[in-house]
Amino acid sequence: MIFALLIIFGILLFNLIIFVHEFGHFFWAKKFGVKVNEFALGMGPRIFKFKKGETLFSLRAFPIGGFCDMEGEDSESESPNSFGNKKAWQKIIIVASGAIMNLLLGFLMTFTILCQANTLVSNTVSKFDENAVSSSCGLKENDEIIKINGSTIYSYKDLSFNFFIAPNKESFNIKVKRDGEIIELKDVKFRTITDKDGTLQVQPDFYLKPMEKNIGTLLKTTFLDVISTIKMAWGGLLGVIKGQISFKNMSGPIGIASVIGEKTSEGLQVSVFAAFMNIFIILTFLTINLGVLNLLPLPALDGGRIIFLLAELITRKKINPKYEGWIHTIGFFLLMALMFLISCFDVAKLFGKG
């Protein structure tokens, strides 16, 4: 019963993420006088609806998405209140606001998570494991790690992610701040283990110093954690493109639902609150990823629309919405094909064949 309630909570929280995204579009559309034909939460057939003013608000059967249908967004419209007849800078704000709202929500959720933490973690080495390899390669206690292989380290999340995506896990070039001086350490080695998939993984052999927990450090750590998560989203995508991360490691709705179920079960072995926080942490990561990936300059995504709007802003010539609509439609079907492929991998993983 408790497990079912927690899964329902996860679904509601996921839909909050979608709602916040679409509300960002809706708010700025109304602010700039754009007619919104429908604001929908969910996909598929309508199960509940009501109309307020010129907008139909609807709840749809499948809780996997939503949309904000604006007049003249993908087609020509003579209405002065259509999306297409607004200024380019106004349209850019409307389109970008969904992703921005997701990032703001991610900030608030990250802040909430850190408020529950007993301590905040810095990037400074406090001590080493017995027989640590890295300490014999020049890394010392009180070193603040600021770069690994040229990548800036904002929070402890960056450390584990850079260890994960590194093509060469045998050694690393690390920049540290030691007694106020920047020092570069070359060929720093760590213990490594081979996981069940036969992949070599780094096993850090040091601990990080805790920080004093107050409103200042909470806000700073929250901001840096969000920056790290944004970097991880971009870095993960680039890692797949470069072949550093297997395409099979990507997850779609099925994979996310599976992880939520798994982490909920793990959390319940400790407490209901631990299960609740596991779901909350996963969906915090998801809302930030949704914000970042939506800004990718690809057709059918908000970032792709922004590219067209920037061209309009620079050239001061409107692109024919019919042709732009075709491009976004093709992009949408390609995106759906990608999601189907990822879902196939997710199903294979569920049956132990991934």
Q: Which of 148, 194, 201 is nearest to 175 (CA)?
A: 148
Which sequence positions are flagged as catalytic?
22
pLDDT at 353 exceeding the cut of 70:
no
Span 48-103, pLDDT tens digits: 999 999 999 999 998 888 999 999 887 777 788 999 889 999 999 999 999 999 99
CB-CB contact of 121 with 67 (8 Å): no
Span 267-308, pLDDT tens digits: 788 888 888 888 898 899 989 999 998 998 888 889 989 999
Fold of 121-212: Pdz3 Domain (2.30.42)
The amino acid present at 84, given as its one-letter code, is: G
What is the rounded distance in angstroms from the CA atom of residue 130 to the CA atom of residue 229? 31
The pLDDT score that the predictor gives to residue 147 is 93
pLDDT at 113 exceeding the cut of 80:
yes
The pLDDT score that the predictor gives to residue 246 is 65
pLDDT at 318 exceeding the cut of 50:
yes
Q: Where along the chain do its domains lie?
A: 2-116+269-350, 121-212
Span 62-72, pLDDT tens digits: 888 899 999 98
Give 244's pLDDT tier (boundaries 50, 70, 90): low
Proportion of the chain above pLDDT 90, given as a percent: 42
The pLDDT score that the predictor gives to residue 307 is 92
What are the distances in angstroms from CA 262 to CA 99, 266, 278? 28, 6, 10
pLDDT at 213 exceeding the cut of 50:
yes
What is the rounded distance in angstroms from the CA atom of residue 143 to the CA atom of residue 212? 18
Average pLDDT over residues 111-115: 94
Average pLDDT over residues 182-209: 85
The pLDDT score that the predictor gives to residue 328 is 79
